[in-house]
Structure 1
Amino acid sequence: MDAIRARTVPERLEEWRQLNEAGAIMEEEAVRRRHPDYSDREVFLALVVTRYGEELAHQVWPDSEGIEP
């Protein structure tokens, strides 16, 4: 905890940004491994379904119907 406390707020925010970016990349890679035939659009839609749920995804992106996350 001392190491975290010693960092400045901008340093901590940058670390948080990097961790979020790494998580998003891993999430996308997982979808691509499960569905190697998906186009970039289908990968995006699978991520939307995973993050926001089917109901909202289908309301906002009707072409997400039938997309497996």
Structure 2
Amino acid sequence: MQPPHDTSAEALQAQLAFWERLGPEGRVSLAGRISLSARYLARDGIRARHPEYSDEELHRALMRLLYGDALVKKIWPHDALVAP
């Protein structure tokens, strides 16, 4: 593994030790929490840009952002795409 250019050797060792202490279950749990936080941030950003959206429009805009136009069109074929 190439060490990052912006991280000291000591900081890298601390990071690697942290990941090792977490273990596989801890790493999966942390990844899930980070993913959920990213989803909440994306949703809140859409809400800030489009306060006029209903809850349904907010949901469809988030799905479009996360999964793309093609899948959203398959799920809601008769609805117009909602801008994220």
Q: For this structure pair, what is the TM-score category when the shorter chain's length is used for normalisation?
A: 0.7 to 0.9
Q: Is the 8 A contact 1:4 1:12 kept in 2?
A: yes
Mind listing any 5+ residue stretches in structure 1 that lack a counterpart? none
Give the TM-score normalised by the residue count of structure 2: 0.71
Which residue identity lines up with residue 25 of structure 1 in the other structure? Y
Number of equivalenced pairs: 69
Question: Alignment identity in percent?
Answer: 25
Distance 1:41 1:63 in 2: 14
Helix, strand or coil at the partner of 1:25: helix
Q: Identify the structure with the greater helix proportion.
A: 1
Aligned residue number for residue 5 of structure 1: 20
Aligned partner of 1:48 in structure 2 is: 63
CA RMSD of aligned residues (A): 1.5
Q: Which has the larger radius of gyration?
A: 2
Structure 2 unmatched runs, 5+: 1-15
Deviations 1:14-67 (A, max 9, x none): 111110111110010011001001011001100111122223312221354141
TM-score, normalisation: structure 1:
0.84
Determine helix, strand or coil for the equivalent of 2:57.
helix
Q: Does 1:61 find its partner at 2:76?
A: yes
